[in-house]
Amino acid sequence: MKQLLNNFDQLDLFVADIIDIAPKGDLHSMEYPIFAISSKPDAKPFRYDNPNGNWIEVIPSINGRATIHDKDLLLYCFGQIAEALNRGKEVTRRIKITAYDYLVSTNRTTDGRSYEGIAHTLTRLRGTTFVTNIKSEGKKKGDVFGLIDSGTMVTNSNGRLDYIEVVLSEHLFASITKNQILTYNRDYFKLRSPYGRRMYELCRKHCGNQTYWEIGLETLFNKFGARSELREFRRKIKELVEEQEIPDYHIEYKTKKETGSVEKVLVYKDKNAYLKRRILTEESAL
């Protein structure tokens, strides 16, 4: 059953049909912990205060805060729009997405459960609201915004979900058109752990063109926006260090005793090159 787009139907429809695109993430949601990393529904308001004075409040609906797995739909949309712009195509924030293509591109199965999951994703994306004082052009700016303005699901004659239409919020659409985005490794979608996903995007945002980045564990804990206690977060980070499944980056955990100050997480860009250098260093020391 098709839902009405109300006052959004005057927007031209951008068909997201470019094959093999790279996912893209907006800089704000990479920096600020606006997506829940819990696998359980999170309907409690959340606030993050940045040391520079900026803050953002996340206000979920009764269906819960949008999760980092829900974000996949936005990463897919951003990638499609960015590639279309690169090719000189006209784009709008009203996007038509083939459900099957989206599921395959984001490393999901194509069973009934995955198709049903799209409906839950749209509900949480539509229902999550943000209030922030993030500065713009040197001025303090109070904003209230959402992630998507509308979501539509269209089924075929067999009752199977065929395609969806999403109207991105103006706030997110502006991030893409102003090129405030970064490309993700496609293997990001292979990360099932929400902690692994959040760790990847923080590495991608902060490591940038540097070969190395370090951050205090408590600061990292705040950037994750985790609901857990610090000790549980520490355990999760140690698991990531042991597994080393984060694409492109090698991460290490250091205790206070090892650093001489505070617990830290060290990030090295170009995982293969780093490991090769470390092996050579260890061999030369023998």
Phi, psi of 266 (to 5 degrees): -105, 135
Structural domains of the chain ordered from first start: 6-187 (no CATH), 191-285 (1.10.10.10)
CA distance 74 to 176: 11
Count the alpha carbons within 13 Å of 47 in the hemisphere toward its beta carbon. Answer: 7
Q: What is the per-residue pLDDT for 139?
A: 52
Whole-prediction pTM? 0.90
Calculate mean pLDDT across residues 13-41. Answer: 93
pLDDT above 70: percentage of residues in the chain? 89
Calculate mean pLDDT across residues 252-267. Answer: 97
Q: State the sign of the Cα–Cα–Cα–Cα dihedral 74, 173, 178, 83.
A: positive
* pLDDT grade for 10, boundaries at 50, 70 and 90: low
CA distance 144 to 132: 7
Phi, psi of 153 (to 5 degrees): -120, 130
* pLDDT grade for 136, boundaries at 50, 70 and 90: low
Q: What is the per-residue pLDDT for 285?
A: 61
**Cβ within 8 Å of residue 255, ≥6 positions away:** 263
Residue 156, pLDDT > 70, answer yes
- Ranking 9-18, 73-82, 177-186 by mean pLDDT, the lowest is 9-18
Q: What is the per-residue pLDDT for 56?
A: 93
Q: What is the per-residue pLDDT for 5?
A: 41
Residue 12, pLDDT > 50, answer yes
Q: Where is 204: in which H helix or E strand?
A: helix 194-207
Residue 286, pLDDT > 60, answer no
Query: Pick from 223, 245, 241, 52: which is nearest to 134 by CA?
Result: 52
What's the maximum distance between 2 C-alpha atoms anywhere in the chain?
Answer: 71
Residue 2, pLDDT > 50, answer no
CA distance 42 to 209: 34
**β pairing state of 161-168 and 94-98:** antiparallel
Q: What is the per-residue pLDDT for 51?
A: 86
Query: Pick from 48, 39, 24: which is nearest to 236 by CA?
Result: 39
**Cβ within 8 Å of residue 222, ≥6 positions away:** 33, 48
Calculate mean pLDDT across residues 253-276. Answer: 89
Q: What is the per-residue pLDDT for 8?
A: 56
Please give the single-letter amino acid code of residue 65. R
Calculate mean pLDDT across residues 187-214. Answer: 95
Q: State the sign of the Cα–Cα–Cα–Cα dihedral 4, 10, 11, 14.
A: positive
**Helix, strand, or coil here: 200?**
helix
Radius of gyration of the chain (CA): 20
